[in-house]
């Protein structure tokens, strides 16, 4: 997540419902078949 106010890129996200922290990328689900593509992007530093 990127803060709209200061543009800081957060690595951990807080859930106000269960009051737990988790890695920000765990909040996203990629369409089937795009997992390999996303992993390649991360390896190349294009996040």
- What pLDDT tens digit does each residue of the chain (47 aa) get? 778 889 888 889 888 899 999 998 888 776 666 667 777 777 877 65
CA angle 41/3/46 to nearest 5° reads 10
In the prediction, which pLDDT does 16 show?
87
pTM: 0.42
Has residue 6 been placed in a domain? Answer: no
In the prediction, which pLDDT does 21 show?
92
Residue located via tokens 């996200």? 13
Has residue 33 been placed in a domain? Answer: yes
**Per the structure, how many domains does the chain have?**
1
Has residue 20 been placed in a domain? Answer: yes
Has residue 19 been placed in a domain? Answer: yes
In the prediction, which pLDDT does 39 show?
77
Domain of residue 33, residue span: 12-45
Q: Measured between alpha carbons, how far is 38 from 29 in angstroms, rounded to an integer?
A: 11
Has residue 4 been placed in a domain? Answer: no
CA-derived radius of gyration, the chain: 13
């Amino acid at each position: 997540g990127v803060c709209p106010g200061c543009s800081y890129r957060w690595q951990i996200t807080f859930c106000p419902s269960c009051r737990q922290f988790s890695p920000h990328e765990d909040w996203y689900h990629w369409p089937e078949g795009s997992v390999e593509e996303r992993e390649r992007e991360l390896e190349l530093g294009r996040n």
